[in-house]
Amino acid sequence: ELGFGIKEALEQLGIKEINEGTSTGINNFSSGDILESYSPVDGQLIGKIKTSTAADYEKVMESATAAFKQFRVMPAPQRGEIVRQFGEKLRKNKEALGKLVSYEMGKSLQEGYGEVQEMIDICDFAVGLSRQLHGLTMHSERPGHRMYEQYHSLGVVGIISAFNFPVAVWAWNTALAWICGDVCVWKPSEKTPLCGIACQNIMAEVIKENNLPEGISCLINGDYRIGEIMTNDKRVPLISATGSTRMGKIVAQVVAGRLGTSLLELGGNNAIIVTPDADIKMTVIGAVFGAVGTAGQRCTSTRRLIIHESIYDKVKDAIVSAYKQLRIGNPLDETNHVGPLIDKHAVEMYHQALEKVVAEGGKILVEGGVLSGEGYESGCYVKPAIAEAENIFEIVQHETFAPVLYLLKYSGTVVDAIAIQNGVAQGLSSAIMTNNLREAELFLSVTGSDCGIANVNIGTSGAEIGGAFGGEKETGGGRESGSDAWKVYMRRQTNTINYTTSLPLAQGIKFDL
Ligand code: UN1
């Protein structure tokens, strides 16, 4: 029997013992193998999902492409109204969906709710945006001519998302794509398929209530093989993929091979620089939440602390003693700080990272280890660990999706710290803790952080949806969520109109017949 109100949450979200519904669930295109979803919280089987075959995928695409023809001619503010209703339904289901996220993925209940809140926020953002899909007007160099640009709906958007944000990343993409007039086909992580079914069920109600074609929101379930069919498909002009750099490189090459567009949000190796002018209390909160929140499985998780030598021991002692307060256990119990890793494979990666850092000459400051016994039966609960290391260590250069924090010492000025911060292949999130304006501004300047996200006096994780989210270098360069990220979901057109009776050519070219 599933506790913590999970049974009721599953019922509310329409999750059954065996779940079908690759399309919105009104009809059902899943005829493949059964995929089982186990909770990392207690190791219990939550539900089964029918996966999608290549033939199912074809039916999904038929439904999606037909829906696009209808959806693209619906005025954008009316599409915004659909997204507004979706946001309303998310508000009603926040508790149930947040719980399912926590139970299927393993993040804390608060973070589960927080993720649903991000979905609600992006819906609100998208509703406003649905009246602001602005293009520019320009002055033509020719008399009696007018120039402007406009944005048209793009088509079918393929979304590949990761287990760590099993619902929010989908919503960041869909809320924008829908107001832009696109339809979406989603391949959620095979580690969190029930979250996918739940989201799909919520949107299916909105679609049905508005008498719209169900292909506006489609779901395909399964492993990389079904994702591969989608990334190869010419009918999908945009693939938005979130996950590892390894996966992103494959997706990028396949999509580029057919000259499609990819929006990539891949690995991070995020650091906080702690300068002699840092507020130590704020640093500790930011660093500890950044390193152990979501059990170190955010792509924005803090992996490296770059501390000035003059305050190194002070900061180290404060962080190590904060780690002693951490309670590890069932994430649905709100008194716990740290929940489980997603699965045993992740536990293995965590072990390997700790072994490697020692082998390379690092020093363990807070011991790791797997917890066993009552409450830890899933075998996925690990102790957040801290190691003193060097930035050049191979393992420090690598993103390990686990609560392992590396302490790095710098001497000299903030310029030296920035060199260490930038001295990795990834470029997602970064932060500096300082009350020194010169240091802060230098960090944000062109010679400062090379990441897509650079913060002052807050940590690396927990970005708001209003900004564009993503990063540089091996993080893939894509931007999702706020600001003008919507533009990638539309095709852009430049228009020149001649309202005279002659045909002057641009650049003054004469061509008389
Ligand atoms: C991710 O880890 O894939 O900034 C996204 C954050 C969240 C999003 C993280 N808003 O931590």
DSSP output for 167-213: THHHHHHHHHHHHTT-EEEEE--TTSHHHHHHHHHHHHHHHHHTT--
Give 11-59 pLDDT, tens digit per residue: 999 998 878 765 555 446 777 889 999 999 999 999 999 899 999 999 9
Instruction: Identify which of 299, 303, 480 to mutate to test ligand 1's pocket (most ligand atoms within 8 A of the CB).
Output: 299
Q: How far is the CA of 121 from the centre of ligand 1 (A)?
A: 14
Q: How far is the CA of 508 from the centre of ligand 1 (A)?
A: 52
Distance of CA 204 to the CA centre of its chain: 22
Give 327-359 pLDDT, tens digit per residue: 999 999 999 999 999 999 999 999 999 999 999
Is the model's pLDDT at 360 over the cut of 90? yes
- Whose alpha carbon is nearest atom 3 of ligand 1? 299
Give 409-437 pLDDT, tens digit per residue: 999 999 999 999 999 999 999 999 999 99
Rounded to two decimals, the ipTM of the complex is: 0.97
Instruction: Identify which of 189, 297, 300, 430 to mutate to test ligand 1's pocket (most ligand atoms within 8 A of the CB).
Output: 300
User: What whole-number distance in Å separates Cα of residue 178 and Cα of residue 173?
Assistant: 9
DSSP-derived 3-state class of residue 232: coil
Instruction: Identify which of 165, 244, 264 to mutate to test ligand 1's pocket (most ligand atoms within 8 A of the CB).
Output: 165
Catalytic residues: 265, 299
Q: Quick one: three-class SS letters along 240-279?
A: EEECCHHHHHHHHHHHHHCCCEEEEECCCCEEEEECCCCC
DSSP-derived 3-state class of residue 480: strand
Number of the ligand 1 atom closest to the C-alpha atom of 463: 4
Number of the ligand 1 atom closest to the C-alpha atom of 265: 3
- Residue 26 has what pLDDT? 45
- Whose alpha carbon is nearest atom 7 of ligand 1? 462
Give 257-272 pLDDT, tens digit per residue: 999 999 999 999 999 9
Summarize the chain as % helix, strand, coil (round to 5). 40, 20, 40
Q: How far is the CA of 126 from the centre of ligand 1 (A)?
A: 19
pTM strictly above 0.90:
yes
Q: How far is the CA of 298 from the centre of ligand 1 (A)?
A: 6
Number of the ligand 1 atom closest to the C-alpha atom of 299: 2
Structure tokens at 233: 């498909």
Section 297-311 average pLDDT? 98
Which amino acid is residue 383, in one-letter code? K
Section 129-148 average pLDDT? 97
Give 65-105 pLDDT, tens digit per residue: 999 999 999 999 999 999 999 999 999 999 999 999 999 99
- Residue 25 has what pLDDT? 52
- Residue 160 has what pLDDT? 98
- Residue 23 has what pLDDT? 55
User: What whole-number distance in Å separates Cα of residue 304 and Cα of residue 408?
Assistant: 7
Contact status, residue 33 vs residue 51, Cβ threshold 8 Å: yes
Structure tokens at 125: 């953002």
Contact status, residue 199 vs residue 173, Cβ threshold 8 Å: no
Using a 6 Å CB cutoff, which residues line ligand 1?
164-165, 242, 298-300, 461-463
- Residue 513 has what pLDDT? 86
- C-beta pairs of 132-139 under 8 Å, 24+ apart in sequence: 133/76, 133/179, 133/180, 133/486, 133/490, 135/492
Q: How does residue 315 score in pLDDT terms, banded at 50, 70 and 90?
A: very high
- CB neighbour burial string for 449-460, b if at least 16 within 10 angstroms, e if fewer: bbbbbbbeebbb
DSSP-derived 3-state class of residue 444: helix
**What percent of the chain is predicted at pLDDT more than 90?**
94
Longest dimension (CA), the chain: 90
pLDDT-wise least confident of 28-32, 175-179, 439-443: 28-32
